[in-house]
A and B are shown apart, each in its own frame.
Chain A
Amino acid sequence: MSKFFQTTKKGEAHELKEELNSDNREKQKNAIKKVIASMTVGRDVSSLFSDVTRLISTVSIDIKKLVYLYIMNNAKSQPEKAVLLAGAFVRDSQNESPLIRGLAIRTMSAINVEKMADYLADPLRKALRDSDPYVRKTAAIAVAKMFTINKLKAEEGGFLDMLQELLCDSNPTVVSNAVASLCEIRENSGAGGLRGATSSNDLAEFKPQTVHTLLNALNEASEWGQVYILEGLCGYTAKTLDEADMIAERIVPRLQHSNAAVVLAAVKILVQYLETWGKRVSPDIREENIRKFCGKMAPPLVSLMSGSQEFEIRYVALRNITLIIQRFPDLLANQIKVFFVKYNDPIYIKLEKLDIMLLLVDPTTVDICLSEFREYAQEIDVEFVRKSVRAIGRTAIKIDSATQKCIDVLLKLIETKVNYVVQEAIIVIKDIFRKYPNQYESIIGALCENLDTLDEPDAKASMIWIIGEYAERIENADELLEMFVDSFEDETNFVKLSILSAMVKLFLKRPTDTQELLQRVLKLASDSDIPDLRDRGYMYWRLLSADPEAAKEVVLASKDVINDATSKYDTGLLEELLMNISSLSSVYHKPPSAFLPDYLHPPKRVVYMEDEDEEDQEGGGAGG
């Protein structure tokens, strides 16, 4: 059949037209296959609309399906003509075969032409109450499509209430599709909300009986259906602590499902439970709850990122694990080895594992982690190598007792003379110096040996900072700085600023023989056309000439010690990300509005609750 994909030559459209209009069934069928093949690779075939749709009343079901497919894709470009086809769909929606009825509803509702809504409403209403579950489950999704075709008509037509009724359907697939449809409608309804949305058909306001039906359907629904139901339950706000507890307990078995999406959807509910209701109980019970549910969540989360899954799924799992362990640091205690990088892991897996190792490393595992990081720092991928070097520096800052070991490893890496390794190492050593001032400067000599290999602004600036900061212990500090001063004009602004500051520090520490060099730098800075540099140059100049003692106090003042920055996100962001487990947002570690320009915030009941919760605690009364 690859012949269908041959490129369109001139006149072929004409030929196709002829074939479509011929009386020969085989010719017609071949012609329409060619049309679909073109469409499927993205070519515009809308000019054949009349010729293709003419075949809609054909008796042959396989041709009919191809015609339907064509219509779904091209109706938008021929809205008037598309509406004329409504009759054929309506007829099919009364066919005695449930598969054809479903097909008709599915296709008709996919034709996004506003007028179509007029014709769709009645058959759709019928389909929602069809005796056959296949038709009902198709109709449930079609309601969401109806909302994109003509929101007003859909709202006024009472379809929300009909969907609500399907939530109690006896068939699990109908139930789960109804939930999916409601979620989709809600997501797209925007800030204005939905007209016709009453408390009885709002997701967040499910009746307790509905929740029970959903939980029961959970056991019987298909794997995807389970995901839809779980997502729907995420939007539901439990009315009492008992109810919330009950839901959490009923969700736990889903963690054993072999479908990764089901597992993560269950994790999402449990995390939300711990984040909201979990905070309403006494600290003891809260501890107990966290221990219990984390114990249940940890093994399946680890499975999701290990051997048996596709790398893409592992990646989603890893990104979510990074989020969850920031909130529940004990979740994967003692599991750090699972995250050791394998040589054949794709790069995105390697980078993520490294992040997680850094979050998990503690005094008991620091030795083995350091030897891993050192191993990784000798791999090929530059980004991964640099991140590994950075990880060693971060470990030094995170775990006081291991700093000396980290520095030893960094020095070993500097010895390899691999240019980017050396530069990255110098950058992190600067941070170590800032965390532990006056403890490790004995290694400065080793760093200075690599001065001439530095060609990156960050590395240069770090080295210059170290020279300035420890000028009194570096005998030839003036010579070293002079090297940079010589190339001053070629440096980036950032490096120029560093040179200026370091030079001032050097002068304050060794005024006798560095005045000339200082003058040179101050001159360079104040002649500069970069405002920042010029201003800072003048500032130092005046400060030094007005009151050198005051200058000392200002410039050489002790600095704030930097902190371990391994918990990456502030609480607000982390909270929002945890509400989005398993979604793109959790993969990017960004709130949805940051990468979706038209993102509409769904009404988030769960977050409101948290506020109430705090008030409650202030009032001294914990819920439940």
Chain B
Amino acid sequence: MIGAILFLNSRGDIILSRAFKDNVNIRAFGEAFRTQVIATKLADRSPVNTLGSVSFLHMRHENLYIVATSRSNVNAALVFTFLSCMLKIFKGYFGTVNEENVKESFVLVQELLDEIVDFGYPQNTEVDVLKMYITVQGLNMDLLTRGKESQSEISMKVTGKINWRKDGIKYRKNEVFLDVVEDVNLLMSQQGTILHRDVSGKVVMKSFLSGTPECKFGLNDKGMLEKERSSAKKHSEIDLEDVTFHQCVRLGKFDADRTISFIPPDGEFVLMKYRIQDTVNPPFRVLSPTVRELGKTRLEIDFKVKAEFSSRLFGTSVVINVPCPKQTASCKINVTTGRARYEAEHHAIVWRVRRFPGGSEFRFGAEVELISSTSGGAATHWSRPPISFQFQVPMLAASGLHVRFLKVHEPKLSYQAVKWVRYISKAGQYECRI
């Protein structure tokens, strides 16, 4: 499995490392990665590189390279999934994982690594359980002096069936918050035809429930509705292309009759992730985009953006990125709402609209002056990157997904839980070609 994990800064200096196996030479590995992967730009061309008999699997995060090494035919999916999971754990302990913070918390990082990986094999990575015995200050001393019982409770949690939930949780008010968060991906051609659209969504649950609550969760999914024939068709149906669940959900049960049943962890977790294609309505559309080349040093870009959702809703923090050629000298921009300006570092005009009401339509026009270049035909060599979007639309599920019910049943305490549901759609990779 994993031989060592290294944290390197952007220059390629090791800032922290941990060897899990004996046949590693941290110094040599760091040097090899710096000179043969970072310096050669191989790092950008592939996340997996083998030098001699050592393979390096790396991720970029903030200003860091997170590198796992191996000398075997290691499970690459497991390594990357683990690295990403490890970063989430560190984030849960000390916030942003960057050079400063990793150095600052190196004892804690070592402490955590000792617990979450053994001999290169990932072990328990549930933050909540880890926090029971490893605190930000390091190992929880009280606990070790507190005696046998509380310790064996921890070892049950670390290794047990329901390792995601502590016992004896109590809340005065039992509440559940469900957030349906959808990343909308879109690829639209110049002609306005949708080449590809889908939603990568997740249902984030924040549970503040006492005891060991049994939960059952229902959506307007076609497959689920078919199973319960009796249900009246109140909402339109959606067709889940694919769905994955948090480990608390009983997969066998879902496979058998499409019911989502589980005992939730305490606090926030991702209950399920899903992908939907057919029923997706892209919230924003680019209408009639035109790029005219007026001579060799002038361009005219023109288009409209329409918000294609109910007028009761509105988009917030809408940022529309309109790429310009590298040799742009100046831009004359004309927009009917929001603010737009040329940002040289992005080679793009960035148009920001704080509040974009549903159903409305706004125009963008820009005249771009280019620096005349000797090679000529500046504009023709421009690759015309697509217009890309960032946005949030609260209370909209672009896929049409709808939460039908969440039943909470605690056999011993039998309380009524208060349930809240929110929806939000955000831009994923949202691109319109021009």
CB within 8 Å of B: which residues of A?
1-2, 4-5, 33, 36-37, 40-44, 61-62, 65-66, 69, 72-73, 76, 96-100, 102-103, 106, 110, 112, 132-135, 137-138, 141-142, 144-145, 148, 171-174, 177, 180, 184, 187, 219-220, 222-224, 227-228, 231, 252-254, 256-261, 263-265, 299-300, 302-303, 306-308, 310-313, 315-317, 337-338, 340, 342-348, 368, 371-372, 375, 378-380, 416, 418, 580, 582-588, 592, 595-599
Contacts and interface: CB of A to CB of B under 8 A. Distances in A.
B260 to A, nearest CB: 10
A222 B85 CA distance: 13
Interface string B16-30: 111101100011001
B63 to A, nearest CB: 15
Nearest to B164: A222
Interface residues of B, number: 108
Interface string B25-61: 0110010000000000000111110101101011100
Contacts of A263: 244
Contacts of B50: 584, 588, 595
A310 B84 contact: yes
A184 B1 contact: yes
Given A2-B103, A227-B75, A308 B200 contact: yes
B75 A307 contact: no
Given A41-B13, A596-B72, 5 more contacts: A106-B114, A222-B125, A260-B81, A348-B47, A584-B55
Q: Which residue of B124, B200, B244 has the most chain A CB atoms within 10 A of its CB atom?
A: B244
Interface stretch (B250-258, B292-300, B357-365): B250-258
B119 A586 contact: no
A343 B160 contact: no
Contacts of A138: 118
B336 interface: no
B429 A310 contact: no
Contacts of B114: 65, 69, 103, 106
Given A98-B152, A141-B119, A343-B431, A587 B251 contact: no
Given A317-B77, A416-B380, A596 B388 contact: no
B359 to A, nearest CB: 26
Contacts of A97: 144, 148, 151
A521 B197 CA distance: 58
B73 A300 contact: no
B245 interface: yes
Contacts of A142: 119
A40 B73 CA distance: 26
Nearest to B241: A299
B275 A173 contact: no
B244 A303 contact: yes
20 contacts: A5-B15, A40-B16, A40-B18, A103-B114, A145-B119, A171-B159, A171-B160, A253-B252, A258-B247, A263-B244, A306-B185, A306-B275, A311-B47, A312-B84, A313-B81, A343-B388, A344-B388, A347-B45, A378-B384, A598-B71
Q: Which residue of A61, A343, A346 has the most chain B CB atoms within 10 A of its CB atom?
A: A343
B138 A313 contact: no
Given A253-B252, A258-B247, A583-B73, A40 B155 contact: no
B196 interface: yes
Interface string B175-215: 00000000101010100000110101010000000000000
A231 B151 contact: no
B245 A258 contact: yes
A580 B384 CA distance: 40
A97 B273 CA distance: 39
A348 B46 contact: yes
B353 interface: no
The 9 lowest CB-CB distance pairs between A and B, nearest first, are A134-B155, A307-B200, A299-B242, A173-B159, A253-B251, A261-B78, A42-B27, A308-B200, A258-B244
Q: Which residue of B80, B138, B152, B154 has the most chain A CB atoms within 10 A of its CB atom?
A: B80
Given A260-B80, A316-B76, A344-B388, A308 B273 contact: yes
B394 interface: no
B119 A110 contact: yes
Q: Which residue of B156, B163, B251, B273 has the most chain A CB atoms within 10 A of its CB atom?
A: B251
B433 interface: yes
A174 B155 CA distance: 11
Contact of B123 (A69, A96, A224, A254): A224
B119 A144 contact: yes
A34 to B, nearest CB: 11
A599 B81 CA distance: 24
B226 interface: no
Contact of A337 (B1, B106, B195): B195
B121 interface: yes
A260 B57 CA distance: 16
Contacts of A102: 155
Contacts of B1: 180, 184
Contacts of B105: 1
B75 A257 contact: no
A132 B155 contact: yes
B22 A112 contact: yes
B107 interface: yes
Contact of A222 (B71, B247, B255): B247
A1 B104 contact: yes
Given A141-B121, A307-B185, A342 B106 contact: no
A61 B144 contact: yes
A264 B77 contact: yes
B75 A368 contact: no
B429 A344 contact: yes
A588 B371 CA distance: 44
Contacts of B423: none
A173 B158 CA distance: 8
Nearest to B244: A258
B82 A36 contact: no
Contact of B428 (A69, A172, A227, A307): A307
Contacts of B241: 299, 302-303
A146 B314 CA distance: 62
Contacts of A110: 22, 119
Given A253-B252, A299-B241, A348-B46, A261 B18 contact: no
B121 A180 contact: yes
Contacts of A134: 154-155, 158-159
B55 A252 contact: no
Interface in B95-145: 100, 103-107, 110-111, 114, 118-119, 121-126, 133, 138-139, 141, 144
A131 B195 CA distance: 59
Contacts of A5: 15, 103
Contact of A223 (B148, B247, B255, B388): B247
Given A313-B80, A348-B46, A65 B431 contact: no
A213 to B, nearest CB: 14
Contacts of B344: none
B14 to A, nearest CB: 5
B159 A42 contact: no
A584 B1 CA distance: 11
Contact of A592 (B73, B189, B388): B73
A62 B141 contact: yes
A222 B105 CA distance: 27
A348 B16 contact: no
Nearest to B157: A134
B246 interface: yes
Contacts of A61: 139, 141, 144
A187 B72 CA distance: 9
A584 B107 contact: no
A99 B247 CA distance: 25
Nearest to A418: B381
Q: Which residue of B53, B73, B83, B158 has the most chain A CB atoms within 10 A of its CB atom?
A: B73
B243 interface: yes
Interface in B229-285: 241-247, 250-252, 254-255, 270, 272-273, 275
A396 to B, nearest CB: 22
Contacts of A222: 123-126, 163, 247
